[in-house]
Amino acid sequence: MIRIDSVTKRYPDGTVAVDRLSLEIPDRSITVFVGPSGCGKTTTLRMINRMVEPSAGTILLDGVDIQKQPVNTLRRSMGYVIQNAGLFQHRTIVDNIATVPRLLGWSKQRARTRAVELMERMGLDASLAKRYPYQLSGGQQQRVGVARALAADPPVLLMDEPFSAVDPVVRKGLQDELLRIQAELGKTIVFVTHDIDEAIKLGTMVAVMRTGGRLAQYAPPAELLTEPADSFVEDFLGTDRGIRRLSFFPSADLELLTSPIVAVDADAGKIAARSADVPHLLVTDLEGKPLGWGEPKDLTAGEIVPERLLSHGRPFVHGKDSLRAALDCAVLSPTGWAVGVDGTGRVVGVVSQQAIGEAIRLAHAHGRAEDDARAAG
- Residues that bind ligand ADP in the complex, under the rule CB under 6 A: 11, 13, 15, 17, 35, 37-43
In this structure, the number of other CB atoms found within 10 A of the CB of residue 229 comes to 15
Nearer to ligand ADP, 36 or 279 (CB): 36
Nearer to ligand ADP, 81 or 347 (CB): 81
Q: What DSSP string describes 100-125?
A: HHHHTT--HHHHHHHHHHHHHHTT--
Closest distance to ligand ADP from the beta carbon of 13 (Å): 5
Closest distance to ligand ADP from the beta carbon of 357 (Å): 39
Residue 3 class from Cβ within 10 Å (0-12 exposed, 13-18 middle, 19+ buried)? middle
- Under DSSP, the state recorded for 250 is B
Nearer to ligand ADP, 34 or 94 (CB): 34
Closest distance to ligand ADP from the beta carbon of 190 (Å): 13
Closest distance to ligand ADP from the beta carbon of 19 (Å): 10
Closest distance to ligand ADP from the beta carbon of 371 (Å): 30
**Contact 227/220 with Cβ under 8 angstroms?**
no
Nearer to ligand ADP, 35 or 260 (CB): 35
**Contact 49/158 with Cβ under 8 angstroms?**
yes
Closest distance to ligand ADP from the beta carbon of 38 (Å): 4
What is each CA distance from 177 to 123, 165, 183, in whole angstroms?
A: 9, 16, 10
How many Å apart are CA 104 and CA 56, to the nearest integer?
Answer: 32
Nearer to ligand ADP, 192 or 329 (CB): 192
Helix, strand or coil, per DSSP, at residue 340: strand
Nearer to ligand ADP, 43 or 142 (CB): 43
Helix, strand or coil, per DSSP, at residue 247: helix
Beta bridge partners of 24: 3
Nearer to ligand ADP, 35 or 294 (CB): 35
Nearer to ligand ADP, 214 or 289 (CB): 214
What is each CA distance from 88 to 99, 144, 258, 376, in whole angstroms?
A: 10, 11, 57, 53
How many Å apart are CA 190 and CA 2, to the nearest integer?
Answer: 10
Closest distance to ligand ADP from the beta carbon of 14 (Å): 9
Closest distance to ligand ADP from the beta carbon of 150 (Å): 23
How many Å apart are CA 55 and CA 62, to the nearest integer?
Answer: 21
